[in-house]
Structure 1
Amino acid sequence: MQQLGDKTVIRMTYDNVVATNLFDDVFVVTDSDIIYNEIVSNNGKAIMSIKNHETGSDRIAEAIENIDCDIILNVQGDEPFVNYKALSDILSSFDGEIGKTVDVATLKESIIKDEDINNSNFVKVVTDYNDFALYFSRSPIPFSREINFSPKYFRHIGIYAFRKDALLRFSKLSMRQNETAEKLEQL
């Protein structure tokens, strides 16, 4: 609910997603009366979750269970600068032959500042040659063992895309060790 210019962060995030015109519908799914009222009072669409949830993705799964849809995009409410290119890129993960095998997609970007590599608020991701995620962590990954070698570090961006059935399956899973330890739902 922090102000960013003349809007709250959540409202700017919502408005920027709507402005891309990439989606049939856009909703904020929340368990907060304050956030719900912020969106609805500004002509947006919001859904209040009924149950308590461990993650935002679990909350979204509850909201979309009876909605006819194929792909669900979860844009974290603290991504106010989300734009057309990023959302278009993540949606393209479901295109083509490889896209038929994708159930979940997310985004990454290079970490530029050295201090961000050790910042636990910047979630790091390591991917394989095909850009499939291998692991996410709040710690620096990969570990740089060699002094004369500087690996590339990537930050996870708080946007997820799910096939509906994958999201519904995900929401029924219990938290495992790594997710509990890192507090990262993508694990």
Structure 2
Amino acid sequence: MKKIALIPARYAATRFPGKMMAVLGGKTIIWRTYESARNTGVFDEVMVVTDSDVIYNEIVSNGGKAVMSKKEHESGSDRIAEAVEDMEDVDIVVNVQGDTPFTQKEPLEKLLQVFEGETGKNVQVASLMQVLTDWKDIEDPNFVKVVVDKDFNALFFSRSVLPYPRDKAVNTTYYEHIGVYAFRRSALLQFTRTPMSPLEAAEKIECLRYLENGISLKMVVTDYMGVEIDTPEDLERASRYLENK
């Protein structure tokens, strides 16, 4: 199977405009993300897909690979789908969010493994999640929560506390959805041809489009993946994480 990583990156982020070009430990966030994905060694190719000349030049001038997207997109998956439209030799596409500068090898290997063997033939989309233990994070809408069935297929994603602990005596595990997706190429192209769904529009969580259209997402539990940078406060957390690392 040919496996590629595509990193969608737009400049005009709502909560943190220009965050991809913010500096983290002497390097821009987008370059750190590209570099960490490439250094895992699990992909045949790594590429940034962007609507920004600034981001494009940042990647190419440092020796990386980037392509310009032709139009505005509702989600990162829509953006990378444009890029793979003509890549007919690609089997698995991994969407690595541009604001995840600490991408690691082991979680990506676990994610790709779910597509292998007999059981993997039925998997169309997979993603990562990690355990949340701090109640402040569980309540934070910037942390997308996911609940799963006994086979670790996603049941729902939400920015709200999910599940709600009405009975506090029940030992509940909370999972944070990590925005790294793996798709079969056909599933990704089908996604971008399907209109935005109502729940996706309300929550601003793109994977709800799959669930609303009856497509399962296989979830993979991983250890801590570092810091996803959505806000200036996250950048401060990432700086502290990098110093400690």
TM-score (norm 2): 0.75
1:25-174 matches, within 5 Å, as 25-67=45-87, 68-174=89-195
Q: 1:144·1:150 contact (CA, 8 Å) conserved in 2? A: no
Seq. identity, % = 53
Q: 1:13·1:78 contact (CA, 8 Å) conserved in 2? A: yes
- 1:2 Cα deviation after fit: 1.4
| CA–CA separation in structure 1 for the residues paired with 2:56 and 2:148 | 36
3-state SS of paired residue (1:109): strand
Partner residue in 2 for 1:18: 38
3-state SS of paired residue (1:80): coil
| CA–CA separation in structure 1 for the residues paired with 2:168 and 2:127 | 31
- 1:150 Cα deviation after fit: 3.7
**What amino acid sits opposite 1:124 in the alignment?**
K
**Deviation beyond 6 Å, 4+ runs, structure 1:** none
- 1:132 Cα deviation after fit: 0.7
Alignment coverage as a number of residue pairs: 187
**Is 1:7–2:7 an aligned residue pair?**
no
3-state SS of paired residue (1:148): coil
| CA–CA separation in structure 2 for the residues paired with 1:79 and 1:141 | 23
Long gaps (5+) in structure 2: 1-20, 209-245
TM-score (norm 1): 0.98
Long gaps (5+) in structure 1: none
| CA–CA separation in structure 1 for the residues paired with 2:152 and 2:128 | 10
